[in-house]
Chain A
Amino acid sequence: MFEFALDSNAAWANYKGHQNPALFKTLANGQSPKILWIGCSDSRVPETTILGLNPGDVFVHRNVANIISLTDINSQAVIEYAVVYLKVSHIIVCGHSACGGCGAALSEARVGGVIDAWIAPLKALRKTHEEELKSIKDDKARAIKLAELNVKSGVDALLSTYFIEEAIRERGLKVHGCVYDVACGKITNLKCGNAE
């Protein structure tokens, strides 16, 4: 399995180099991505692949349940680097259906280890929107609703960050919230950012 990944890398490099002989030469000179993607670590949501884009197009942060917490230095470092130094034009926060993190936050069971602490913001959202979530009888639909609420909350957090407010004012940075449906491969724009 491991050798397989290295072999398929060689095939990929060959294929990409054949498609565009200048690709790797250009990449070695630097990056100027237009998009910062903040998404879930879930293997079914590979950003560059589902967006049909190329290496060099998307700067990426992926964590469990695409949680944006303003005191998380890991994601904050990524966002600051992308906005202040790379000057991306768009930030996309993307949640997805069948998210394990949302499922865990909707269940009464403890996950164990550090994950409960990480998904605490999802639990808090669940409490804030208890009535709305309870009224959804289907488990899958309820998890999608929580994923959407989480994206909106992440977008709101971004919009209240100092250097993002500045980039919006000075150069028209756009923040978008989306959800990806793993059952059909399509992205839906939640229109909850400053672009709409």
Chain B
Amino acid sequence: MTSSEAKHPMSQYLQQNQDRIFENNREWVASKLAADPAFFEKLSSGQHPDYLYIGCSDSRVPANEIMGLDAGEVFVHRNIANIVPNTDLNIMSVIEYAVAHLHVKHIIVCGHYNCGGVQAALSHTDMGLLNPWLRNIRDVYRLYEKELDEIDDDGQKYARLIELNVLEQCRNVIKTAAVQKSYHENRFPIVHGWVFDLKDGLLKDLKLNFEETLGDIKKIYNLEVGTSRKSSTV
């Protein structure tokens, strides 16, 4: 980098951004060690989270922070609009690792109001690479077309689609063999649907009835018995 580039206001700004991160990280370490000198030693022995959190990539919804939980407590996957497509190897690996290997007790699908991904799916725009991903949300709209079309207010329709998307993605989690088998053997994990409200920072529980939903799903998607976990769990 030449000295003239280094003096450019944008370069300086970017450097400050980056420096701030490393400073913050050192401060965070110091505060953790002050509260518990063995904090990191305990973490380095392994992770035993009770929760798997599947949420949106949105910067305003930091998973463990909004749950008031610390490092080591929540296994996390975040993508655009908290979607759980059954052919997506990425999220299927996350679910399988969390359930079959970490034995999490709860799986949370957490959406949020004002979700940009859901809004994009409500607009009629070609977004290139994002199209196949956002299609999953359009498919949720189609599943609940009648209910959503009856809502006149656009804001309310948008909010309801966000809730329905969470509930539908919870069903996709329950359709996995990993969840069905573990629940059959251990009575866990339980799947929950939440929506985070940016206006007050509070979580709303959509009160998904896990037992009932599992029962409904098993009519078609039952993968509890059959091939061993070694050959397929998703």
A residues near B (Cβ < 8 Å) are: 1-2, 5-13, 16-17, 23-25, 27-28, 30-31, 33-35, 41-53, 55-64, 72-78, 80-82, 85, 89-90, 92, 97-98, 100, 110-115, 117-119, 172, 174, 176, 182-187, 189, 195
B72 proximity list for chain A (CB < 8 A): 43-44
8 Å CB contact of B75 from A42, A58, A176: A42
- Residues A59 and B18 in contact, CB atoms below 8 Å apart: no
User: How many chain B residues have a CB neighbour from A under 8 Å?
Assistant: 91
Who on chain A is nearest to B51 by CB? A5
Confirm or deny: B47 has a beta carbon within 8 angstroms of a beta carbon on chain A: yes
A100 to B98, CA, bound (A): 11
Confirm or deny: B26 has a beta carbon within 8 angstroms of a beta carbon on chain A: yes
A93 to B87, CA, bound (A): 25
11 other contacts beyond A55-B62, A98-B46, with CB at 8 A cut-off? A50-B28, A51-B24, A56-B59, A62-B76, A63-B91, A74-B91, A77-B79, A78-B80, A81-B57, A81-B117, A176-B18
Among A64, A117, A119, A182, residue most surrounded by chain B Cβ atoms (within 10 Å):
A64
Who on chain B is nearest to A25 by CB? B199
B203 proximity list for chain A (CB < 8 A): 6, 9
B residues near A (Cβ < 8 Å) are: 10-11, 14, 17-18, 21-29, 32-33, 39-41, 43-44, 46-47, 49-51, 57-80, 85, 88-94, 96-98, 100-101, 105-106, 108, 114, 116-117, 128-130, 132-134, 178, 190, 192, 198-203, 205, 229-234
- A182/B44 contact (C-beta < 8 A), A9-B203, A12-B201 known: yes
Who on chain B is nearest to A64 by CB? B93
Who on chain A is nearest to B95 by CB? A114
8 Å CB contact of A118 from B43, B49, B89, B178: B89
